[in-house]
Structure 1
Amino acid sequence: MSKADNMLAILWLLKANKRMTAKQLADSLEMHIRTVYRYIDALCASGVPIVADSGHNGGYSLLEHFKESPLFFDLEEQKALIHAALFAQEAGYPYGDVLKQAVTKLKRYTNEAQRSEIERHMVGFEVVNPSAPPSNIEGFLQQLEQSVASCTTQHMVYQKGYGLDEQERSIDPYGLVHWRGKWYIIAHCHLRQATRSFRVDRIMALNGTDNVFERPEAFSARSFLLRNLKRQPEGEDQLIPIVIKGNLQALNALCEMWLFSEALVDRSVDTARFMIENHLLQTYVPYHLLSFGTRIQVLEPMQLQERLVEIAGKLLQHHSR
């Protein structure tokens, strides 16, 4: 174990026991007694209130007020953190390996009863993200996250749209946002001289620079992305707002379909609003909607209404022969 792990183990033992000698600590942790002395000194230097009593019944102990303070997470907190880690990993969290190490360390400092209880809660809890980000963007996500923290300009090669030419540009990253199964970097684009959103999976190459920028005060990347949904991310196919009205059961079923679940923006009892790429309005979208018959009604856009009428007319003509 690392030095930090061993020091935490000593704290754990002292918290669980009223008093322990250096030899008892050394035997429990399978280390030399001199190593225990060094770790005790390091803990004291860092401010941990360890009391050393000499004599026949001597040993090391923690001050009572420190002993009563929670040293680690309780069972419910551990369970919640491990469950949250599953969600983060499925979303393509850029520090997945570090997250796994943290979860492993979390489990290491639990007793057998707690460990068994956690495992029972893990068996029936799984997360499946149907549109998980590609694994090859992890390095880009890490670099962008670090550049947001350090306020350093990045130079990237970005692919606009579907199979369009790649374009070089410099950006000042303001924040990363995970939305509808995709990662977006909100940044000031030097080429456009404006704040833009870029899909991270469209970045072909990314290189740091020594240039430092000043991040706008109180800027929210999340608010910017949601506020500008009608203006598609740079290089993206145009997003069209679709408003559909229907009964509760039909709308629930529609919002659960793979195509619409990722595009849902707003939902009420009888109305749902989606933002869907323009080219899908002529292909997949109308055919999915036709399967709901008269249980739903397209309120907008008109081009989708017209496309539904066109397809329905062709079906009527075909089956009337």
Structure 2
Amino acid sequence: MKSSRLVSILLLLQTRGRMTAAQLAAELEVSVRTVYRDVEALSAAGVPLYGDAGHAGGYRLLDGYRTRLTGLTAGEAEALFLSGAPGPAAELGLGSVLAAAQLKVRAALPAELRAHADRISGRFHLDAPGWYADADEAPYLPAVADAVWNSRVLHVLYRRWREPTDVERRLEPYGLVLKAGRWYVVAGPGPRTFRVDQILELVTSDDEFTRPEAFDLALYWDAYQRDFQERLHRGEALVRVAPGARLTGAAAAAVEANGRTDDHGWTVATVPIESVDHAHDEFLRLGTAIEVLEPQELRARIAATVTALARTYA
């Protein structure tokens, strides 16, 4: 445990520069006294680490000092190579950069950890898009990524689903998100979310913007997804589901959470639906393994479809 913490201190100082004992303690979730002891241990081991007193003081490494990544555990080395998804990196124009970085990391690893990393890259491949989703072409993705990185304002012609479909927008791009093979840019003011593949024209401005200090991309995206699901499923249906029937998504979660078994062994539950049209198509694929009890409009729609199918195949 201590050796891992010593390596963490070394890497923190190497990547962030000067840090106070209090900052190191908060990062490592230990006491300041523990940091003092760890710093003494690193100095005794010959690490060129210096402490500056005063308000702007802190610990720092001698300029030019770099450590090899021998402090990585097997699990950390495996996770590092598993996280390097080549597809998204290539889409951002960083494919060769990722390859070069992984080569350097691999060269710095001890032989045993190098074998672990090679085993991961040889046995696991991340493929984000779904089977039946066409690949979305996003020709402006590199330009959007560059604007995110350099805090540049974008002027875009954007296609949305409602009228007027093609609109001009001024974007302050805070971050990019890859979801199920599709790229989204989160941008101010707002912030709001835009599909990168729906950008029809793009001009990068010389104007810079200031990204809000309190903005957290991961927290925003989590809240955005929850809100999207709530807006998406505005209706409900009461259904009976046969044993072994496979509902998906929010409906499956609802059956699991509030379903009750009737006298025939079927599960009765209230499930969220997007619309009558969408639920009609989703429930029909289950055939006789599901019965819609309410709403009557949905039950009648499915009954009419089944009747028409029976006439077709009679």
Report the TM-score, using the length of structure 2 for normalisation.
Answer: 0.56
Report 1:53-64 matches (<5 A).
none
Q: 1:250 aligns with which of 245, 254, 260?
A: 245
Unaligned runs of 5+ in 1: 1-17, 19-42, 49-65, 233-238, 256-260
- Give the partner amino acid of 1:208: T
Deviation, structure 1 residue 125: 1.9
5+ long unaligned stretches in structure 2: 1-44, 46-60, 260-268
Alignment of 1:301-320 (within 5 A): 305-320=299-314
**Identity level (%):** 25
The answer (yes or no) to whether the contact 2:236–2:271 under 8 Å persists in 1 is: yes
Cα deviation digits, residues 162-191 of structure 1 (max 9, x gap) = 9985433212223333334322222236xx
Partner residue of 2:157?
157
Give the paired residue count: 236
How do 1:190-269 and structure 2 match up within 5 A? 195-216=191-212, 218-219=214-215, 220-229=219-228, 241=234, 246=241, 249-251=244-246, 254-255=247-248, 267-268=253-254, 269=256
Alignment of 1:172 onto 2:172:
yes
Which of the residues 87, 90, 99 maps onto 1:89? 87
Change (3 A) 1:223 1:124: closer
Contact persistence 2:89–2:98 (CA under 8 A)? no
Q: Is the 8 A contact 1:158 1:167 kept in 2?
A: yes
Letter in 1 for 2:106: K
Deviation at 1:148, TM superposition (A): 3.6
Residue 315 of structure 1 deviates from its aligned partner by: 1.6
Mark the CA change 1:104 to 1:197 in structure 2 (over 3 Å): closer, same or farther: same
| Secondary structure, counterpart of 1:46 in structure 2 | coil
Secondary structure of the structure 1 residue equivalent to 2:155: strand
Shift of 1:154: 0.6
Contact 1:266 1:272 in 2 (8 A): no
Are residue 101 (structure 1) and residue 100 (structure 2) matched?
A: yes
The code of the aligned residue for 1:205 comes to E
Displacement after TM superposition at 1:314 (Å): 1.0
Residues 1:107 and 1:98: Cα distance change in structure 2 (over 3 Å): same
User: 1:46 matched to which residue of 2?
Assistant: 64
1:101-153: CA deviation from partner (whole Å, max 9, x where unpaired)? 2222222223444433433343332333343884753x634433443454432
Does structure 2 conserve the Cα–Cα contact (< 8 Å) formed by 1:151 and 1:214?
Answer: yes
CA RMSD across the alignment = 4.5
Secondary structure of the residue aligned to 1:82 is: helix
1:83 Cα deviation after fit = 1.2
The separation in 1 between residues aligned to 2:152 and 2:117, in whole angstroms, is: 41
